[in-house]
């Protein structure tokens, strides 16, 4: 990965659960670093930078207003994250995912391609990709734990994407869904408290 910021120094990471964090489109890993203080201290958090330059910032793959994408770009980005995870996962008790906005599309794609690889997944103000190739390849032995937080009036994620995301999550995951009126396309402290409760329950208990 181009850049990764850790929540703990290297000497304090061994044996801890790893939370891999992916930012949204047109921002960078610092957006996820700002969440570190609000997440359970037992976790080692790793904020990854997307591999694609988006102006002065970064993303995971190109997007337009309708959230259409080149699936080859998606797979390229996904494989880079898998390679990074494979380098570090042996040092940790488990691996979980957290993605914001486009990062939720990444987190859910990683889960779909490697369903047994992650203890829990968190998606914030984002979406699940509507892709036939992914749909054909996914196979879950049991529904994975998934937290989905959003504002129903989010102005960024369009209605079709929300409908697909809701249907996919309800069909395939053990879903914890929460909405936060007035939050917009952001992350709130109330939401992060709920995320922390979810992670403690599914990963630490």
Phi, psi (degrees; rounded to nearest 5) at 34: -65, -20
Q: For the chain, what's the residue count?
A: 205
Show the domain range for 142.
4-204
Identify the residue whose tokens are 């670093």: 33
Taking the C-alpha atoms of residue 29 and residue 4, their distance in angstroms, rounded to an integer, is 7
CATH number at residue 32: 3.40.50.1820
Taking the C-alpha atoms of residue 128 and residue 126, their distance in angstroms, rounded to an integer, is 7
- Per-residue pLDDT in tens (0 to 9) along the chain, 205 residues: 669 999 999 999 999 999 999 999 999 999 999 999 999 999 999 999 999 888 889 999 887 666 666 788 889 999 999 999 999 999 999 999 999 999 999 999 999 999 999 999 999 999 999 988 888 777 888 999 999 999 999 999 999 999 999 999 999 999 999 999 999 999 999 999 999 999 999 999 8
Phi, psi (degrees; rounded to nearest 5) at 48: -95, 145
Q: How many domains does the chain have?
A: 1
Identify the residue whose tokens are 């969440």: 35
């Amino acid at each position: 990965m181009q850049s990764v910021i850790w929540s703990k120094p290297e000497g304090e990471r061994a044996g801890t659960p790893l939370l891999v964090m992916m930012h949204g489109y047109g921002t960078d890993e610092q957006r996820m670093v700002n969440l570190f203080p609000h997440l359970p201290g037992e976790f080692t958090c790793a904020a990854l930078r997307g591999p694609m330059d988006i102006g002065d910032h970064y993303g995971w793959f190109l997007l337009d207003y309708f959230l259409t994408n080149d699936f080859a770009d998606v797979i390229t980005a996904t494989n880079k994250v898998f390679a990074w995870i494979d380098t570090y996962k042996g040092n940790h008790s488990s691996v979980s995912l957290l993605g914001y906005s486009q990062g939720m599309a990444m987190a859910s794609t990683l889960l779909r391609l490697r369903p047994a690889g992650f203890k829990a997944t968190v998606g914030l103000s984002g979406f699940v990709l509507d892709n036939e190739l992914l749909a054909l390849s996914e196979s879950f032995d049991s529904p994975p734990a998934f937290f989905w937080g959003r504002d129903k009036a989010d102005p960024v994620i369009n209605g079709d994407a929300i409908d697909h995301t809701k249907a996919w999550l309800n069909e395939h995951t053990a879903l914890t869904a929460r909405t936060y009126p007035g939050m917009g396309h952001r992350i709130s402290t109330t939401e992060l408290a709920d995320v922390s409760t979810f992670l403690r329950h599914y990963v630490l208990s």
